[in-house]
Structure 1
Amino acid sequence: MSEGRPYGFEVLPLARIEARLVAYDWAWARDNAERVAENWERRRAARPALFDGPVLLACACAVTDGVCRVDFFETTYSRFIAYRDGGSPDGHVTNAFAAIVPWSADGAVLMGEMGPQTANAGQIYFPCGTPDRDDIRGDTVDLAGSAGRELREETGLAVPEEAGESWVLLRGDGQLAFLRPVRLDETAEQLGDRMERHRLQDADPELARVVIARGAQDIDGTRMPPFARAYLAAAFAGVPAVTG
């Protein structure tokens, strides 16, 4: 892990995000339709619950003076998964998503292990998901709303009205991870208990279990994706603006 670029990711504090929806002709997806179909058939055979709905991917991103301007376009989940499974070969398109990072009152981060029926089964990260049509507001994309919705759906937690608006962008590995650290008033154990009760009330929960990270020793190099490891490494190393 290199100092200043944990796990190969840039860590960029943001004052504001301006996300918009644009029209985009994705040549890779058009030229690889057969590969997309074959990959989706393989994925569905392993996890029949997967749904090929509309999702939003990024086709441009620039950060200037703390302001991030990012362009999204609509495509299908099967195209996105084939692209990601193939190593994101088109450098013009990026998997971009937003997440709330729940911090407890005693300085821990709450995460979840994805359930066996999900596309990322077994991976541990913050409550998040690929933006979709529910996040479109006219010609803008509501990343804050997307992150808040995923937090509620997966954990039952909500962002306090008085929470700060700070964001941090982790850019690398073919991803744009827009993370909003939020401090909550309860301890890690209390929050974990609330998340577990919410999980057990769901007939088909996305999370298999709740995970609490209290320090760098809790970074799981096997099951945490690189963006999550990069954030935790920076946060527990005391990088300014990463913990909110």
Structure 2
Amino acid sequence: MPSLRDTIADDLRTQITTGRLKAGSRLPSEPRLAADYKVSTPTLRNALALLQAEGLIEKIHGKGNFVRRPLRRLRYTGGRLTPGADLHVTIRTTNLRARGDLIPLLKVPSRTPLTEFLCLTHQGERPQSLARIYVPRDLEPAELAWSRPDRAETREVVIARLPTPEEASTLSISTSLAVLAITRVSADLTGRVIEVARLLLPGDRAEALFTTHHTIEEMRAEG
């Protein structure tokens, strides 16, 4: 038997998907909804949290809960986000020292000088993605070091996880919404790691596309 939380979420979900509750419209107040469904406020908030995690509603502090407008899909492919005319990026650079897991990822000694590029992508006023890119400082004479064509190998690890409170705040998402976390390590022809990038995409709008090209010899060997 479904719980009260799930029953409430199912009913609100149906109202949203059928258009009874329009995109951008404000839901009744939480006390009003709790009274309508004859449940406690915590139970009602648990139901709303499910819909927030699904990307159907968003809670704006001091204003209430709103039906979320359709989000632009973000596609990660070929080592980067598919560009969009209405996306813009702000970049902040910081000088720091290698520590923690950056040491084995970059294959450098502890406290090696690095440059961090913090890139925040927006669509309008809404944050869409967050990237932190680390480059050894002796390789970083240009403004955008990662745009250089000297990569010989790139290794990517993709996981789904919950965001930290700081990440959720930066991306304006709920801490209960899963994110797509991508760690990309690039090396040059000598095998030296020239860049480590950590990308974070909200799970309610992100997808990753990977394409594998097989040679005729590989296909014959597999056949």
Asked if TM exceeds 0.5, the reply is no
Structure possessing the higher relative contact order (Cα contacts under 8 Å, 6 or more residues apart): 1
TM-score by length of 1: 0.22
TM-score by length of 2: 0.23
Structure showing greater radius of gyration is 2
